[in-house]
Amino acid sequence: MKQSKFFMPTLKETPSDAEAVSHQLMLRGGYVRQVTAGVYSYLPLANRVLSKVSQIIREEMEAIDSSEMMMPELLPASLWQKSGRYDSYGPNLFKLKDRHERDFILGPTHEETFTEIVAQEIKSYKRLPFSLFQIQTKFRDENRPRFGLLRGREFIMKDGYSFASNYEQLDQQYEDMKNAYLKIFARTGVEVKPIIGDAGAMGGSDSLEFGAPAAIGEDTIVYTDSGYAANIEMASSYFVKEENNAPLQDVEKVATPNIKTIADLADFLKISEKDIVKSVVYIADETPVLVLIRGDQEVNEVKLKNLLQVEDLRLATNDEQFELTQVKAGSIGPVGQNFAKEVIADCNVQNMANFVVGANETGFQLKNINLNRDFTPDNFADITVVKEGELDPTGKAELKFTRGIEIGHIFKLGTRYSEAMNAKFLDENGKAQPVIMGSYGIGVSRLLSAIIEQHHDDRGILWPKEVAPFEVHLIQMKMNNDEQTQISEKMYQDLQSKFEVLYDDRAERPGVKFADADLLGAPFRVIIGKKAAEGIVEVKNNQTKEAVELQISEVANYLKNEIG
Amino acid sequence: MKQSKFFMPTLKETPSDAEAVSHQLMLRGGYVRQVTAGVYSYLPLANRVLSKVSQIIREEMEAIDSSEMMMPELLPASLWQKSGRYDSYGPNLFKLKDRHERDFILGPTHEETFTEIVAQEIKSYKRLPFSLFQIQTKFRDENRPRFGLLRGREFIMKDGYSFASNYEQLDQQYEDMKNAYLKIFARTGVEVKPIIGDAGAMGGSDSLEFGAPAAIGEDTIVYTDSGYAANIEMASSYFVKEENNAPLQDVEKVATPNIKTIADLADFLKISEKDIVKSVVYIADETPVLVLIRGDQEVNEVKLKNLLQVEDLRLATNDEQFELTQVKAGSIGPVGQNFAKEVIADCNVQNMANFVVGANETGFQLKNINLNRDFTPDNFADITVVKEGELDPTGKAELKFTRGIEIGHIFKLGTRYSEAMNAKFLDENGKAQPVIMGSYGIGVSRLLSAIIEQHHDDRGILWPKEVAPFEVHLIQMKMNNDEQTQISEKMYQDLQSKFEVLYDDRAERPGVKFADADLLGAPFRVIIGKKAAEGIVEVKNNQTKEAVELQISEVANYLKNEIG
């Protein structure tokens, strides 16, 4: 492609409203433009990268016999009513009506749509297992779209679905998909950590997230040097129940006027935060639940939600708490409470003795509280947010934190959707069974951001070879030099038959051309300059910044060796 | 791909609700499934054909230096308010609100979006001309979606836009695009007629439609053997104004009680319909217009709308007519009327004398009416629907009619959008000028239907080579025959490296396999049957139905020669 005919509007200045480096570079390089908040146009450069990423995905999916198809984006509400998600998905779901006032949504994901077609078409175990995928525009009405393509309202996903007649088949499909994903990310040049993910949101069991370490990432990846890795929402730390031999002291009610925080309470009572049990009131699908957690720890709402198996979980407001307990927040506690249907304590509370809790009387706390003697929770479970430096669940390695971008996620869905939507097949014995499903996503447009976050310098993008918009950037230094023009045109014709080449034939100063070339970030640059008259051109590797001078006739072979 | 792992749910029976052959065959062959009215899922077979068609489009666009990019589908209403189409586009526009109650649409076409980005990014004539395209899902809330992919509510389009600094550049871009379109359609195997199209709807001047002749087509293509071709909405027939020397007779008012139709009126008065002038009342952007047309002819509303240059044109209702005239429909006429702001007469009225019109008095007509003496229209113009057998505009060839499917449409838009959206560049003299645009569409999903309408027999689809979902269908007759399995597997490995192969490895009877193979319609079929033991297999051309027996070792070369 000749750059004079190519639409690549670069910017000299970094746009002030772009926080993420990837967003800045995509704007400056003429890769994307925002049309409205969280909604972008992919200009030709971004489109070329998207095509390459998509092609890699297609090849790796084909290698595991997953077939591509394409579902609609406009979906009848009835499909999502069947699964229950029409109501439970929340305000991120775009809803609309057609001219006949029938309800539709714009698909943010397609479990229902694929389950429905399998329900209609697959009748026998003989047609299972198989899997399908699509690369498609998705819609999610994010409250705060940001960071360019990292959190958009319209974005491109690869979403895949597997269908099996038994769990061994599902395990195999899940394993194949995991390996294919690792190959895909390796080919796109992005470093990923496969981490334990939250399967709860999709209603399934196992799940694995693929997190690309990057400072701008919105996720915290928890990992150890010995291989443990989990999303902070799912990470656990070492816990063993200890025998507690401390003598149980007598309960004592103390006034704690104007004490608002756990830190203040510990100071006031001259104890450690670890000797306090916080009482937190949640509303779980409209039912109040009392959650108990050690004073220095925080409730992990994802773990709690998965434990309670509810659709909706939120903190009670101060008003709700007061209405339920007649006590001001801070003085609520488990002893003698009767407002909560269920009391859940974090497992670490099991190792505590003679601790402090709210007295269920505004401005008072109880000291020397003990489990079983004074109250008994309905359930102990791991519901804390882990902290950096704690030991991992094996107790052998220290947890480390890093920021990451979620670029892929695979789930064992089991029968969550097939049961809700009556997708059944007849097994070997002629008995109807729900299809066993998996779901497998890659954030395709988000992957672009992740690649750039990991591959850039202060002048532009350093594209990995397999996903670069062009492999070779051919730059003619002076457009009014006939010799250079002749050599460049010939070089362009030759290289174009072997590589993807952008030929900068614009009547611009070399400085402008080089600045744009930095922003574009093709892996190799061929510069036709002064020495062209002597038959010599410069070839520069954009990753290593190394440049070599070559005879014109050597260029194609040199690039062939480098690019492969 | 092994068919046992491929999702291709075929149907034995023709679905009763599918009228179009292409729709029937796509359902029966497991190509598509309806999700809701006018909204389809493209199963793996259809997806493969769509990919091939898209690839052909990409190659031919690249050959004319048009770059691919991707605009959003979710568009802020403000973009369409700028162009005026938010209100004028009508009920086919899907409208929705986001969580912040801001107005959005789902894009049915993208003139505004492309104009906007060019307005923002292109400042100088030096960056012009260039062109951009995308292959994208579009949305149009059709009142009556039908015929499968022919008239859907969610569909795939290639839409392209060109930008130029002068009309010579636009003419060249239009010409390049026309030639590229002809190549694209030729490669997809579809026969097309480039015909004069209606540019009015897009607000431009010249336009060319690409119509694929097919019985199910909703368009009528008017053509002659000597090269004239137009959409019936745009077709003209021969007209020359004649000298009229008939003596003007005296006006006479006649009672015509209970006469409802032109035919009845002609009978009653014992005259030809050609001696009557019909008066038709239209509401054009809320203004009443009186349209006069010869009794045996019909008003062409597209021509009329383009003539009046209005956004909205419709017939007045009987109630509206009565309110305007105090006369019942059928008795309205041009003589002495004062309700219509404008009176438009078809050009053929110019050659009439002593004709009959409504008397503007319920139940009466006027005889012996003549132009100029009795009334004078504001304008004469070609506003009739042509009829088969009339002469074409040159007067030399007879008009013929055929049904067609519109699969492409190119427009010279001029400055309709750039002026509305202030997309200006500085010309050589530093003067701001509106960008000169063209717009170029292909109905990609609709093209699938058109190909099938033109390429099928009573058993299935006969795919042209370049767009077939698979080039070779390898069919093993008996799955429990080890020799056949060994030969088939080896043949599959070999052919797969050279062609796109579907290997029917299902444990099904040969009858089932052949019926599915007919529905699938791959250009070549390789059948591993009884003679495989002797090293002989059958290769069948699905277009010609000719079969040859070949040595196993000859198959790849034979196919190489045939497929190329």
> Mutating which of B40, B64, B99 best tests the A interface, going by the most A Cβ atoms within 10 A?
B99
Helix or strand run (H / E) with residue B23: helix B21-28
Query: In chain B, how many H helices and how many E strands?
Result: 14, 31
Q: What is the pLDDT of residues B79-93, one digit of tens each?
A: 999 999 999 898 999
- Same structural domain for residues A277 and A411? no
Sign of CA pseudo-dihedral B464, B470, B474, B478: negative
B24 pLDDT more than 90: yes
Q: What is the ipTM for the molecules in this complex?
A: 0.90
Could you say which of A74, A117, A137 has the minimum Cβ distance to residue B39?
A: A74
Chain B residues in contact with A120 by the CB 8 A cut-off are 33
B371 pLDDT more than 90: yes
Residue A198 located in a structural domain: no
Which residue carries 């047309």 as its tokens? B293
CA distance A330 to A456: 49
Instruction: For residue A246, name the pLDDT band (cuts at 50, 70, 90).
Output: confident
Chain A residues in contact with B98 by the CB 8 A cut-off are 94, 141, 153
C-alpha torsion B137→B140→B145→B148, nearest 10: -10
**Distance, in angstroms, between A334 CA and closest chain B CA?**
39
- Same structural domain for residues B284 and B337? yes
Domain CATH for B334: 3.90.960.10
Question: For residues B72 and A246, which has the higher predicted lDDT (pLDDT)?
Answer: B72
Residue A169 located in a structural domain: yes
**Distance, in angstroms, between B173 CA and closest chain A CA?**
12
Instruction: For residue B16, name the pLDDT band (cuts at 50, 70, 90).
Output: confident
CB A316 within 8 A of CB A257: no
CA-based nearest residue to A421, from A133, A112, A129, A167 = A112
- What is the rounded average pLDDT for all residues in chain A? 95
Q: Which of B194-208, B223-237, B350-364 has the lowest mean pLDDT?
A: B194-208
Q: What is the pLDDT of residues B232-259, one digit of tens each?
A: 989 999 999 988 788 999 999 999 988 9
- Same structural domain for residues B139 and B185? yes
Note the pLDDT of residue B245.
Answer: 82
Q: What is the pLDDT of residues A309-321, one digit of tens each?
A: 888 899 999 999 9
The whole-number average pLDDT for the span B13-17 is 88
CA-based nearest residue to B149, from B52, B58, B18, B44 = B18
8-state DSSP, A141: -
A194 pLDDT more than 70: yes
Sign of CA pseudo-dihedral A327, A333, A337, A343: positive
- Same structural domain for residues A482 and A417? no
- Same structural domain for residues B301 and B406? no
CA-based nearest residue to A332, from A375, A300, A372 = A375
CA distance A527 to A539: 6
Q: Inter-chain contact B1–A50, Cβ cutoff 8 Å?
A: no
Residue B246 located in a structural domain: no
Percent of chain B clearing pLDDT 70 (strictly above): 99
CA distance A226 to A561: 37
> Mutating which of A34, A49, A67, A100 best tests the B interface, going by the most B Cβ atoms within 10 A?
A67
Nearest Cα residue in chain B from A40: B72
Nearest Cα residue in chain A from B31: A69
- Same structural domain for residues B480 and B440? no
B339 pLDDT more than 70: yes
Exposed, middle or buried by CB within 10 Å (0-12, 13-18, 19+), for B242? exposed
Note the pLDDT of residue B200.
Answer: 66
Token representation of residue B473: 């269908």
- Same structural domain for residues A277 and A419? no
Token representation of residue A482: 């006939």
Residue A308 located in a structural domain: yes
Q: Helix or strand or coil: residue A320?
A: helix
Chain A residues in contact with B74 by the CB 8 A cut-off are 39, 94, 106, 139, 153-154
Chain A residues in contact with B69 by the CB 8 A cut-off are 7, 41-44, 46-47
Domain CATH for A558: 3.40.50.800
The whole-number average pLDDT for the span A134-147 is 96
- Same structural domain for residues B194 and B223? yes
CB burial of A353-371 (b: ≥16 within 10 Å; e: otherwise) equals bbbbbbbbbbbbbbbebbb
- Same structural domain for residues A72 and A157? yes
Instruction: For residue A204, name the pLDDT band (cuts at 50, 70, 90).
Output: low
Residue A243 located in a structural domain: no
The whole-number average pLDDT for the span A88-110 is 96
Q: What is the pLDDT of residues B172-219, one digit of tens each?
A: 999 999 999 999 999 999 999 999 887 765 556 789 999 999 999 989
- What is the rounded average pLDDT for all residues in chain B? 95
B420 pLDDT more than 70: yes
- Same structural domain for residues B405 and B474? no
CA-based nearest residue to B43, from A132, A56, A108, A418 = A132
Chain B residues in contact with A62 by the CB 8 A cut-off are 1
Note the pLDDT of residue A367.
Answer: 96
How many domains are there within chain A?
Answer: 3
The whole-number average pLDDT for the span A45-69 is 98
Q: Helix or strand or coil: residue A548?
A: strand
B346, B381, B416 - which closes a domain: B381
Domain CATH for B48: 3.30.930.10
Residue B47 located in a structural domain: yes
Instruction: For residue A76, name the pLDDT band (cuts at 50, 70, 90).
Output: very high
Range of the domain at B527: 470-563
Instruction: For residue A564, name the pLDDT band (cuts at 50, 70, 90).
Output: confident
Q: Helix or strand or coil: residue B333?
A: coil
Residue A155 located in a structural domain: yes
CB burial of A331-341 (b: ≥16 within 10 Å; e: otherwise) equals bbbbeebebbe
Token representation of residue B278: 């019909």
Q: Inter-chain contact B69–A5, Cβ cutoff 8 Å?
A: no
How far is C-alpha B552 from the chain's CA centre? 46
| 3-state per-residue secondary structure call for B29-75 | CCCEEEEECCEEEECHHHHHHHHHHHHHHHHHHHHCCEEECECCCEE
**Distance, in angstroms, between A279 CA and closest chain B CA?**
34
Note the pLDDT of residue B204.
Answer: 60
Q: Inter-chain contact B35–A73, Cβ cutoff 8 Å?
A: no
CB A116 within 8 A of CB A454: no
Token representation of residue B489: 């597997």
**Distance, in angstroms, between A68 CA and closest chain B CA?**
6
**Distance, in angstroms, between A340 CA and closest chain B CA?**
33
- Same structural domain for residues B102 and B8? yes
Could you say which of A2, A48, A74 has the minimum Cβ distance to residue B154?
A: A74
Token representation of residue A316: 């009670």
Nearest Cα residue in chain B from A164: B5
CA-based nearest residue to B209, from B406, B395, B449 = B406
Q: What is the pLDDT of residues A344-395, one digit of tens each?
A: 999 999 999 999 999 999 999 999 999 999 999 999 999 999 999 999 999 9
Q: Inter-chain contact A69–B44, Cβ cutoff 8 Å?
A: yes
CA distance B11 to A280: 58
Q: Inter-chain contact A70–B120, Cβ cutoff 8 Å?
A: no
Chain A residues in contact with B10 by the CB 8 A cut-off are none
- Same structural domain for residues B345 and B446? no
Instruction: For residue A203, name the pLDDT band (cuts at 50, 70, 90).
Output: low
Q: Inter-chain contact B96–A96, Cβ cutoff 8 Å?
A: yes
C-alpha torsion A421→A426→A428→A431, nearest 10: 90
Q: Inter-chain contact A153–B5, Cβ cutoff 8 Å?
A: no
Residue B332 located in a structural domain: yes
